[in-house]
Amino acid sequence: MRGIGQKTNFFLDNKTEKSIINKLRDAGCVFAEEETQLLASETGSIEELMNRVEKRVSGLPLEYVLGFTKFCGLRIEVEQGVFIPRRRTEFLVQQAKALTRPNDVVLDLCCGSGAVGAALAAGLTKIFLHASDIDPAAVRCASRNLTKLGGHVYQGDLYEALPDSLRGRVNIIVANAPYVPTDAVQLLPREARLYEPKAALDGGKDGLDLHRSAAKAGLDWLVPGGHLLIETSEMQGAKTLEIFVKAGWITKIVRDEEWDATVVIGTKSVEPLEPWGRFLRQ
């Protein structure tokens, strides 16, 4: 008999624990023991635990069953239908942190649950955080994660969501926008295909529609010398970089093999663009 974790106020006897582990294992959960412990530690009653086990056995991702995930060491609320933050995106956070200064205005574009913005706000001394997403469920979820950190969350298509007062005042834009090519969505793992919204994954024919739009309009929202950081894949990295170059950014690409993470960083020139330069880039 044992109780696990803070929320547990019931005893999970060995027999029940073993039967839960077996159920999860039979359903294909590779880490059945760890999941059992986590579910028990986050659940207040045996009835609720069994209910959650059934949801997990039906295939629902663990993060949705629990209602949260861990990202950069933080507990991030995620509700069903909102993209589950990936470990590789911690590299994007790391890169953005290195470029952010105290009192910077930071925008988490395509914020989903707001995990990226939350990690930046929690890991830096003082920033003015804004976040936006097109999906009302994501905006609801991000509001829960970011309002307590002083963030403001808006709903709408990319920069259209933002108040005009932010134009030309943002120091850092950080974006994990959808970048899976439409035809490749069907090849994603089952949990992503079945449970995450297609709009959170599908980046259009070559996966880069959102990269094009974010790069094109991003310059208007940044201060001179400001940065737009965007997550991409190793395969698409060169194309994302080219999109940035064509849109007029000073660019670089960074990669972490361990996380299999690729980020393109665009910097807005401090020199004003020549009128013909703007013309050439259209």
Ligand X SMILES: C[S@@+](CC[C@H](N)C(=O)[O-])C[C@H]1O[C@@H](n2cnc3c(N)ncnc32)[C@H](O)[C@@H]1O
Q: Enumerate binding residues for ligand X (CB under 6 A).
A: 83, 85, 89, 110-113, 115-116, 133-135, 138, 157-158, 176-178, 199-200, 210
For the bound state, the minimum distance from the C-beta of residue 21 to ligand X, rounded and expressed in Å, comes to 30
For the bound state, the minimum distance from the C-beta of residue 48 to ligand X, rounded and expressed in Å, comes to 27
Q: Write phi, then psi, for 172 (nearest 5 degrees).
A: -135, 125
Residue the block writes with tokens 């974010």: 214
Q: What is the DSSP letter of 196?
A: S
> In sequence order, what are the residues at sequence separation of 6 or more whose Cβ sits closer than 8 angstroms to the Cβ of residue 155?
132, 133, 134, 135, 136, 139, 161
| Alpha-carbon span 32 to 246, nearest angstrom | 49
Closer residue to ligand X in complex, CB, 140/169: 140
Closer residue to ligand X in complex, CB, 35/202: 202
Residue the block writes with tokens 């920069």: 159
Closer residue to ligand X in complex, CB, 105/146: 146
Closer residue to ligand X in complex, CB, 23/152: 152
For the bound state, the minimum distance from the C-beta of residue 171 to ligand X, rounded and expressed in Å, comes to 18
| Alpha-carbon span 92 to 72, nearest angstrom | 11
Closer residue to ligand X in complex, CB, 137/273: 137
For the bound state, the minimum distance from the C-beta of residue 147 to ligand X, rounded and expressed in Å, comes to 17
Virtual torsion, Cα 115, 116, 118, 121, nearest 10 deg: 170
Q: How many helices (H) and strands (E) does the chain have?
A: 11, 9
* Nearest to 104, CA basis, from 45, 166, 180: 166
In the bound complex, which residue of the shown chain has the CB atom lying closest to ligand X?
Answer: 112
Residue the block writes with tokens 């996966």: 207
Please give the structure tokens belonging to residue 242. Answer: 């080219």
For the bound state, the minimum distance from the C-beta of residue 83 to ligand X, rounded and expressed in Å, comes to 4
For the bound state, the minimum distance from the C-beta of residue 47 to ligand X, rounded and expressed in Å, comes to 32
